[in-house]
Amino acid sequence: MARTTLRQLIAAEELIVAPGVFEMFSAKIADRLGFKALYMTGYGISVSYLGQPDAGIATFTDMVNRARTIAEGTNTPLIADADTGYGGLLNVRHTVRGYEAAGVQAIQIEDQEAPKKCGHTPNRRVVPLQDMVRKIEVAVEARRSDDTLIVARTDARAGLGLDEAIKRAQAYRQAGADVIFVEAPESEAEFERVGREVDAPLLANMVPTGKSPMLSAERLRALGFRIAIYPAAGMAAACAALDHAYRYLLEHGSLIGAPHDAFTMQQLHELSGFPDVWEFERRHVEL
């Protein structure tokens, strides 16, 4: 049976809650829990893979290779950050086709100048509106399947204000974007205004301690949002757990008596896929 697509879920007016994944442990854990979608976070990929900030350093090749690995290793529809499309219009076409071939169901492209920055950092600048409109038109034309969604993100709120962000959101929808992402509204009232004035399926970025307030799933759905991404949900918790575990090991010289939660080796084996290896060996390899 074919799995439900993101387009079908959006048409059903559900709120799709998508946790951020940034490597295969996070992707596999999220995949088996029953989420309707996963979100490949550019911030998480840039830091976990390159050890660099989300400031336009990760390339198309870096990102599409990670997207392919995650999509091939999971069963949940994947939304993936594609930054600015990695260049001009030809690059946007190449990006959309590459992400689509990698198995991504929704491709997020933003209107920042290069090099782009994380949406919850200062000093972000955006390209002229018409430049982004042309990128969206190319992205829509480039996709080979109608089930591939183009998510248009605007970062105009930070430097140009909410009026300009809404104007851009409306223009991007008119250009053919399937989902609109106004980055970092700074109050619940701003979320309400986006929901009221932008006639499109909307994506909300929920970042604890970021620039936007945290809203409940019920409130976001009532305001017209159809996707809520939580890019830092996994990486923030993982970093805290790693810090705790490593500090304990440094202080005590062992993990005996460590108070933190940890997977057993059996749980790690199951998550990583060793049961399939053992079954293969049982059938085909003399031990």
**157-199 pLDDT tens trace:** 999 999 999 999 999 999 999 999 999 999 999 999 999 999 9
Question: Is residue 144 scored above 60 in pLDDT?
Answer: yes
Distances (CA, A) of 127 to 42, 72, 93, 95, 132: 20, 34, 18, 18, 7
Interval 17-37 mean pLDDT: 97
Percent of the chain with pLDDT over 70: 98
What pLDDT does residue 115 have? 79
**239-252 pLDDT tens trace:** 999 999 999 999 99
Q: How confident is the model at residue 92 (pLDDT cuts 50, 70, 90)?
A: very high
- Mention every residue, 6+ apart, whose C-beta is less than 8 A from residue 185: 157, 162, 191, 193, 194, 212
Helices (H), 122-182: 129-142, 156-160, 162-174
Percent of the chain with pLDDT over 90: 89
Please give the Cα distance from 199 to 201 (Å, whole number). Answer: 7
Using DSSP's 3-state secondary structure scheme, residue 82 falls into coil
Distances (CA, A) of 153 to 167, 171, 173: 12, 11, 10
Residue for token pair 């962000």: 165
**CA angle at 50 for the pair 46 and 55, rounded to the nearest 5°:** 40
As a whole number, the mean pLDDT across the chain is: 94
Query: Would you say 248 and 58 are in contact if contact means Cβ atoms under 8 Å apart?
Result: no
Question: Is residue 68 scored above 70 in pLDDT?
Answer: yes
Interval 240-269 mean pLDDT: 96
Give per-residue burial for 84-113: e unless 16+ CB within 10 Å, then b. Answer: bbbeeeeebbbbbbbbbebbbbbbbbbbbe
CATH architecture of 6-238: Alpha-Beta Barrel (3.20)
Q: How confident is the model at residue 137 (pLDDT cuts 50, 70, 90)?
A: very high
Interval 208-236 mean pLDDT: 95
Cis peptide before 259 (omega within 30 of 0): no
What pLDDT does residue 124 have? 83
What pLDDT does residue 119 have? 61
Q: How confident is the model at residue 102 (pLDDT cuts 50, 70, 90)?
A: very high
Interval 55-74 mean pLDDT: 96
Please list the residues that pair with 108 across neighbouring strands: 81, 151
Q: How confident is the model at residue 287 (pLDDT cuts 50, 70, 90)?
A: low
* Concatenated DSSP letters of 240-251: HHHHHHHHHHHH
Using DSSP's 3-state secondary structure scheme, residue 238 falls into helix
